[in-house]
Amino acid sequence: MSFPEINSLITTLNKLYELLPQGSHRGYIVGGFIRDWLLGRQTNDVDIAVDGNALSIARDAAKELGGKFVLLDEANSIARVVIMEEEQQMGTPQNLCGREWHLDFSSFSGDIKTDLARRDFTINAMAVELSQFVIASPSLRVILRERSDRRISPRTGFTKQFHLKLIDPFSGKKDLENRIVRAVSDQIFEADAVRLVRAVRLAAELDFVIEPETESLIRRYSQSITKIPGERIREELLRLLSLPRAAYHLRYLDQLGLLLALIPELGEGKGVEQPTVHFWDVFDHS
């Protein structure tokens, strides 16, 4: 993210903090945003966990920030606030360009570590208390402005210059450094089988590897993917197929027992030879 984008995000997070009833509710930035922040990756999705009524807080946030409230899951109290920030391009007053932020709110009860224990992979099971961004935002803005002026990579020396108190009960930061996708627990695929494909997609996007025990879990639960609604699988598959080396990723899905669970018709081509002009069988050719 550029300096103006991060500066805008910090302002948004400050406003969100002010919306929380002080002293009675806490908010945390969790999951993929923390992962991408530590990696210096571009992202527009911010997951926010609150120990209060997430739907009510999201509605207030949409009103305060001029965003759009989107109900994602009423039963589990999950909602999204979509904010479109417009920036006028220099020299082109008639054209506006902007960035769209997705702020996803969810509720948790008890300790934030209990909430993190329900997440999928260790690199997605980290959190930072919202107040940390608010307290540290002045110094963070200075660091980011210096970087912007000097055109320094966002990742260069960042952790040495600026520290947020990371809540990391499953050593996700260590797995991030070692480029590993690891399940938080043996129950993650039982809780939501779409995570089977997500593990492969995440490893492919980040150029990480899935560690052996998590691979074994994927093979054990591979047939569970057939119970997941098609639109959820479609989202993961399209993201996977849009990446370089898509054929390699499909072969990996096959090795894990997922490809034929998703598209059983492909199995009919295995071992079926073609005319001599081809050296692959029907399955590999497909």
Over residues 154-195, the pLDDT tens digits come to 444 334 444 678 999 999 999 999 999 999 999 999 999 999
C-alpha closest to that of 175 among 157, 140, 202: 202
DSSP structural state of residue 183: B
Q: pLDDT, tens digit, for every residue of 274-286?
A: 566 555 655 566 6
How confident is the model at residue 151, as a pLDDT?
43
- What average pLDDT does this structure show over 79-103? 66
C-alpha closest to that of 194 among 146, 237, 150: 237
- What average pLDDT does this structure show over 225-245? 92
Say how many residues make up the chain.
Answer: 286
Query: For 105, phi and psi rounded to 5 degrees?
Result: -105, 135
How confident is the model at residue 223, as a pLDDT?
94
Q: Tokens in use for 139?
A: 């110094």
Please give the Cα distance from 217 to 113 (Å, whole number).
Answer: 23
Q: pLDDT, tens digit, for every residue of 128-143?
A: 998 887 766 555 555 4
End-to-end CA distance of the chain: 38
Please give the Cα distance from 271 to 49 (Å, whole number).
Answer: 49
Q: pLDDT, tens digit, for every residue of 105-136?
A: 999 888 899 999 999 999 999 999 988 877 66
Q: pLDDT, tens digit, for every residue of 192-230?
A: 999 999 999 999 999 999 999 999 999 999 999 999 988
Please give the Cα distance from 120 to 126 (Å, whole number).
Answer: 11
Cβ atoms of 106 and 47 closer than 8 Å:
yes
